[in-house]
A and B are shown apart, each in its own frame.
Chain A
Amino acid sequence: MDHSEVPQDNSHTYGGHRKLLYATDRDGNYVGVPSTGWEAEEIATGSALDLLAQQQQVAWQRAQRGETSPLEYYMAYRRMDEALLAQTSGIWRWRIRRHFRPAIYRRLNDTVLARYSEALGIDITTLKTLVQNP
Chain B
Amino acid sequence: MNDFTHQQSAHCESGVMSAMLTHQGLPLSEPMAFGLASALGFALIPFVKLSGLPLIAYRMPPRAIINGLQKTLGVHMRRQTFRNAAKGMAALDAELDRGRVVGLQTSVFWLPYFPEGMRFHFNAHNLLVYGRDGDDYLISDPVFEQPVRCDRAALQKARFAKGALAAKGLMYLADRVPDSIDHARLVPAAIQRNLRTMTGAPLPFIGIRGIRHMGAQLRKLERDRAKREQYLPLYLGHIVRMQEEIGTGGAGFRFIYGAFLRESAKVLVSDELKEAARLMTDAGDHWRLFALRASKMCKGREAMDTAVLEEILHGCADREAAVWERLQAWSRSQRQ
Contact = CB atoms under 8 A, between A and B. Distances in A.
Interface of A: 1, 11-24, 28-30, 32, 34, 38-41, 43-45, 47-49, 78-81, 84, 87-88, 90, 119, 121
B10 A14 contact: no
Interface of B: 8-10, 31, 51, 109-110, 115-121, 143-145, 157, 161-164, 237-238, 240-241, 244-245, 248-249, 251-252, 255-256, 258-259, 262-263, 274, 277-278, 281, 284-285, 288, 291-292, 294-296, 298-299
A44 B144 contact: no
Nearest to A13: B117
A41 B118 contact: no
Nearest to B299: A43
Given A16-B115, A43-B296, A81-B51, 19 more contacts: A1-B285, A1-B288, A13-B115, A13-B117, A13-B118, A14-B118, A19-B143, A19-B248, A20-B10, A22-B31, A29-B262, A39-B295, A41-B240, A41-B249, A41-B295, A43-B295, A44-B241, A44-B244, A44-B245
B244 A14 contact: no
Q: By DSSP majority rule, is chain A's interface helix, strand, loop, or mixed?
A: mixed
A1 B284 contact: yes
Contacts of A39: 292, 295
Contacts of A78: 109
A34 B295 CA distance: 22
A22 B299 contact: no
Contact of A22 (B116, B259, B288, B298): B259
A38 B8 contact: no
Nearest to A5: B285
B262 A28 contact: yes
B289 to A, nearest CB: 10
A41 B245 contact: yes
A49 B117 contact: yes
Given A22-B258, A40-B244, A34 B115 contact: no
Given A14-B115, A15-B117, A43-B295, A88 B288 contact: no
5 contacts: A1-B251, A22-B252, A40-B294, A41-B245, A41-B291
Nearest to A90: B162
A86 to B, nearest CB: 9
A79 B121 contact: yes
Contact of B255 (A1, A40, A79): A1
A11 B10 CA distance: 17
Nearest to B255: A22
Contact of A45 (B117, B263, B278): B117
A14 B244 CA distance: 13
Interface centre among B117, B143, B161, B162 (most CB of A within 10 A): B117
B237 A28 contact: no
B281 A41 contact: no
Contacts of B116: 15
